[in-house]
Amino acid sequence: MSVVKPDEVSAILRKQLSGFDNEVDIYDVGTVLQVGDGIARVYGLSKVMASELVEFPNGVMGMVLNLEEDSVGCVLFGESFLIKEGDTVKRTKRLASFPVGNKLLGRVVNPLGEPVDGKGPVNHEKFMPIERKALGVIARQPVKEPVQTGITAVDSMIPIGRGQRELIIGDRQTGKTAVAIDAIINQKYTHTPEAKEDGVDPVYCVYVAVGQKDSTIAQVVAKLTEQGAMSFTTVIAAPASTPAPLQYIAPYAGATLGEFFRDNGKHALVIYDDLSKQAVAYRELSLLLRRPPGREAYPGDVFYVHSRLLERASKLNNELGGGSLTALPIIETQQGDVSAYIPTNVISITDGQIYLEPNLFNAGVRPAINVGISVSRVGGNAQIKAMKKVAGSLKLDLAQYRELAAFAKFGSDLDKSTLATLSKGERLVELLKQGQFAPVPVEKQVVSVFAGTQGFLDTIPVKDVKRFEKELHEFIELKYKNILTAIRSSKVLSDATVESLKKALTEFVEKFKVD
Amino acid sequence: MSNFNITSRYAKALLDDSEEKALLPKVHEDVNLLLNTLSQSVELKRFLKSPVIKQEKKKEILLEIFSERICAETKNFIEFLVSKKREDLIEEIFIRFIEVYNEKHGIVVAEVTSAQELSDAQKKELIQKLEKRTAKKVELKYKIDESIIGGFVIKIGDTLINGSAKHQLTLLKKKFLEEELVLN
């Protein structure tokens, strides 16, 4: 056991003392008038700014939300029982801000940037305010590069571009988070040297968990770590046990971190899981601040809460570095009711939505995406040409299938062409099914969709479609690797590639054994 | 605190009216006298706030106490307040009056807390320094609080100038806790 000498300790203390200058400290103060339910009313603080951080006793921080004639309304980021009437409140002269920097990757932090993963202090570069004005028209350019989610149904028919805002909406237990997590895991590819060769820039991910169970967040973090996706991901955790104000600011903190990457010419993917819980947290603190309730008791500015958050997603122009911030907000609906207040708001703000349905989920179609009503308003421009070429007919085929499937339920006399459409549709639906945490690279997606739409699956029984796809990928990787490389590097489907793809498929269909 | 609007209105009315009639210095003196009396007598305060006692009675008693010592303008104002049934807010209105008066005349009130009584020379120097800093006329109120150990704390409006030994110790403690002690 080592012994600490007393003079050693005093030497260190003396060293620290020498750096301590006893100057007079000047600061602005106020007095707590009323405290409770995570809200404090403060008298004084006359020069305080809206959304400034203030310091209460016992290390509790607060944020100023209401500036009134004779008092200031603060929300508390800590427990309200630590504060009592008459306590002194100190201004910090710092707007609520979040620490940003590359060192945050791989970490789990709370919305104030304090680590909650027990890996020691976060070495941030700087603080950036959590509320920032979204960029204007001049700073932006149209979305043009894809974010590959690795989910065939999404990448083929509801493509997402870098800088887009795509809503993931659905009831509870329909796999909303799974879609988002798959999207993060698939970004692992963008951090490889091969991706660099193909001109794909790396995407950094931020996962904002609002109002979820601590155990769920732990699961997500464990899964991301297991899949090797944590090295380029930051998790901002505001679980259900944290006070409403922290849940309310969590998405803004995530956007701030995303903006840090974007402004440095990098690409960020931010997932807000989920915004309905954030709206509920905001409703709670608005009502406690006595703001008048409106529809569903949400305050009047709940639309602005979401619009100013999602408006921060953007694709910068090339002069500004061409970085991007893609937002994937998640909204949970109740009993499939998309016409409730918050869902309609967020649907109108975003550039499209991925709609997940419990019926499909229970029927075994997973991911349970309803491709009929899911749209992406800008992603089409970002899709790689090869995918665009094959996906056109996929959408059409599926639409025709859905139309006929309703009739087919009555059974009986169906003509030959109807039967053909139906059987093709069934196979396509089967083809689009995909396991969780199993993202498929885009070149393989193109091959699958090509096989499906060009009728190579027609002779395969529906139950064997998935096995066919798997073995097809293996076969092509072994014997026709040049097809995959060609699609990946040139991003187009040239006539030559189509020819060799057709040849490969014909060869494989003959070889494929149906048992 | 919802009385803020009401008290401001009455206080401003009194200020403007007495200024028009060139009675402001006298009224200001009267208000100070009234406030002093009120702060010393809990009974008077309770009496004014009581809803059971009739307005006439309140007016009578108020005038009986003060009419000898205050000018007609202030007397009229008190009568007016009672007739408007605002006699329960009388103290708040007068406090607000002083605030408005100070604001108008560029006077700031600073509260100085020290561990020991300050000497006259110290007080004079303090006033000079503060007047230079705020560019306003400074009125000092003194308070003794031994718990601050040494130094002084000055409160001007919402700003605190904290030079107390107690605060220095708190800062020092914070600093020690912040930095990691590496023992080698």
- Backbone φ and ψ of A206, nearest 5°: -130, 125
Beta-bridge mates of residue A28: B159
Q: What is the pLDDT of residues B82-106, one digit of tens each?
A: 888 888 888 889 999 998 898 888 8
- Backbone φ and ψ of B109, nearest 5°: -100, 125
Å between B61 CA and nearest CA of chain A: 33
What pLDDT was estimated at residue A415? Answer: 85
What residues of B are in contact with residue A8 (Cβ under 8 Å)? Answer: 183
**Does B183 have pLDDT greater than 80?**
no
Is A149 in contact with A310 (CB distance < 8 Å)? no
What pLDDT was estimated at residue B178? Answer: 65
Walk along chain A (515 residues) and give the pLDDT tens digit of each residue.
567 777 877 877 777 777 666 678 889 999 999 998 889 999 989 889 999 999 999 889 999 999 988 899 999 998 889 999 999 999 999 899 999 999 999 999 999 998 999 888 888 899 999 999 999 999 999 999 999 999 999 999 999 999 999 999 999 999 999 999 999 999 999 999 999 998 899 999 999 999 999 999 999 999 999 999 999 999 999 999 999 999 999 999 999 999 999 999 999 999 999 999 999 999 999 999 889 999 999 999 999 999 999 999 999 999 999 999 999 999 999 999 999 999 999 999 999 999 999 999 999 999 999 998 999 998 888 999 999 999 988 988 999 998 888 777 776 677 888 888 899 999 999 999 999 999 999 999 999 999 999 999 999 999 999 999 999 999 999 999 999 999 999 999 999 999 999 999 999 999 888 77
What pLDDT was estimated at residue B171? Answer: 84
Are B158 and A69 a contacting pair at CB < 8 A? no
Beta-bridge mates of residue A98: A128
What pLDDT was estimated at residue A1? Answer: 53
Are A47 and B161 a contacting pair at CB < 8 A? no
CA distance A257 to A206: 8
A49 inside 8 A of chain B by CB: no
What pLDDT was estimated at residue A67? Answer: 92
What residues of B are in contact with residue A69 (Cβ under 8 Å)? Answer: 4-5
- pTM here is 0.84
Provide the ipTM.
Answer: 0.73
Of the pLDDT bands very low, low, confident and very high (cuts 50, 70, 90), residue B51 is confident
- Three-state DSSP class for A148? coil
The fold adopted by the segment(s) B3-103 is Peroxidase; domain 1 (1.10.520)
Q: What percent of chain B has pLDDT over 90?
A: 3
Q: In this complex, which of B161, B168, B176 lies closest to A16 when CB atoms are compared?
A: B176
How many interchain CB pairs under 8 A, A with B? 50
Q: Which of B8, B159, B174 to mutate to test the interface with A (most CBs of A within 10 A)?
A: B159
Q: Which of B130, B160, B171, B182 to mutate to test the interface with A (most CBs of A within 10 A)?
A: B160
What residues of B are in contact with residue A29 (Cβ under 8 Å)? Answer: 155, 158-160
Beta-bridge mates of residue B138: B108
Q: In this complex, which of B158, B160, B183 lies closest to A8 when CB atoms are compared?
A: B183
Q: In this complex, which of B1, B155, B159 lies closest to A71 when CB atoms are compared?
A: B1
- Nearest Cα residue in chain B from A41: B1
Å between B173 CA and nearest CA of chain A: 11
What residues of A are in contact with residue B1 (Cβ under 8 Å)? Answer: 33, 43, 70-71
Give, in degrees to the nearest 5, the angle at Cα A160 between A155 and A161: 125
Q: What is the pLDDT of residues B59-80, one digit of tens each?
A: 888 888 888 888 888 888 988 8
CA distance A396 to A391: 9
Annotated catalytic sites of A, by residue?
377
Are A45 and B175 a contacting pair at CB < 8 A? no
**What are the domain boundaries of chain B?**
3-103, 107-183
Beta-bridge mates of residue A218: none
**Does B184 have pLDDT greater than 50?**
no
Q: In this complex, which of B162, B167, B183 lies closest to A4 when CB atoms are compared?
A: B183
Dihedral of CA A426/A427/A431/A433: which sign? positive
What pLDDT was estimated at residue A411? Answer: 64
CATH number of B107-183: 3.40.30
- Three-state DSSP class for A421? helix
- Find the radius of gyration of the CA atoms of chain A: 27
